[in-house]
Amino acid sequence: MSRVAIAFVGCKVSQADGEQALGELTAAGLLPVRARDGADLVVVHTCCVTAEAERKSRRLVRRLAGDGTRVIVAGCAAALRPEQFDGPGVEVTARPDWAALAAASAAGSPPEDATPPHAAAPLARTRFVLKVQDGCAGICSYCVVRLVRGRPRSTSRRDALAAARAALARGCGEIVLSGIDLGAWQDGELRLPDLVVALADLPGLARLRLSSLEPRHLDERLLEALAHPRVARHLHVPLQSADDDVLAAMRRPSTFAQYSAAAARMQAHLGDCMLSTDVIVGFPTEDDAAFKRTLAALASGLFGRVHAFAYSPRPGTAAAELPPLPAAVVKERMRRTLAAAEAAARSARRAALGRVAEVLVEERRDGLWRGYSSRYIRYYVEGAARPGSLVRAVATEEYEDGVKGRIA
């Protein structure tokens, strides 16, 4: 039986696509393994959101293929520029037929009684990423993902609930709802709030988390659904810039004032909620004043997590036609942005000290249980627990990328 593993670069959707591939390959007869170096076949889902994401994708594929492993390359970067992955032992596919690939992989496989390293059920995880939406109808001038992912489409509520129930039956504690434009989910007359409530009410669910939402989707009806006690008190809402002229050049669907109003609505409905965001540094029309406005927004205390990306022109996008800023300017702005992001994260960690939080336990390592709180802060705790369960924990000190404490 051939052994298969997955790897991915990029967002939760890329991760979900990889998990789906692993599930289908397993159903078709391959044996899933956790360790990529113990696999006969590795499926890599790639990313093209930035030039750096493409470079990471290429490096991962080349390293795996260089070890003699058969590599199947899928995902956004494979759809955008498949030729960049050409090489021995590498197969690129835009629309993979996993059953056919599994059948082809069965030939010449190890004997049936071989004992593979780190064999495990393909989706036996404490957190399950449930992709319910794909594609985007947006017009952002810098974004190539909408070009490779195509028009919006949604998984039906029935199928989403069936996938969630199956994950819960496998011991999953948290479901992460994901999509390229998650707020655009629909099933007939049903909209995202209907799906959130239906999922949050499932028996056995410890927590529901949403991966990313645009500011325009944070209306009263969705916020009322997100106030459900099983929904995580953390939202990721991309900002990209706090300067309205830059936002207009980016063709973003909201101004900074509209973004701020959406954040205020979120806090009013959800109370003690962490907001995380994305910012693009060095967009071609970003001058010093515009950059300072973004830096001031990051220092305002609004955000607990910030993901910063240096702008890189993406093929086929309108922004790629604009003259770029000097590389030295972008590098210096990235340095200052990353410092602001770390300061925001430190502030969020310090605010957690001494407080009781519900932590979803994921794994035990180096004598400590690890997991995330509702506000998406990493906890390292001592005490009795089991993977997939919610525990009440008290943080006593900052530790590595999160906080350390004990189970209350």
Architecture of domain 353-407: Beta Barrel (2.40)
- Of 304, 190, 300, the closest CA to residue 237 belongs to 304
Secondary structure letter of residue 6 according to DSSP? E
pLDDT at 145: 96
> How many Cα atoms occupy the beta-carbon half-sphere of 25 within 13 Å?
32
Q: Which CATH number fits domain 124-232: 3.80.30.20, 2.40.30.10, 3.90.1300.10, 3.30.750.210?
A: 3.30.750.210
Domains 3-106 and 240-252+264-352 share a fold: no
User: Distances in Å between the alpha carbon of 404 and those of 222, 375, 397, 401?
Assistant: 33, 15, 5, 10
The whole-model pTM stands at 0.92
Question: What tokens does 182 get?
Answer: 């998650």
Block mean pLDDT (10 aa), the chain, length 408:
91 94 91 84 96 97 92 96 96 82 62 39 72 97 96 98 95 96 98 98 97 96 97 98 98 97 96 96 98 98 97 97 98 98 97 97 95 98 94 97 97
- CATH code for the structural domain at 240-252+264-352: 3.30.750.200
Give the Cα separation of 264 and 267 in Å (integer): 5
Q: What residue ranges do the domains of the chain occupy? A: 3-106, 124-232, 240-252+264-352, 353-407
pLDDT at 105: 67
- CATH code for the structural domain at 3-106: 3.40.50.12160
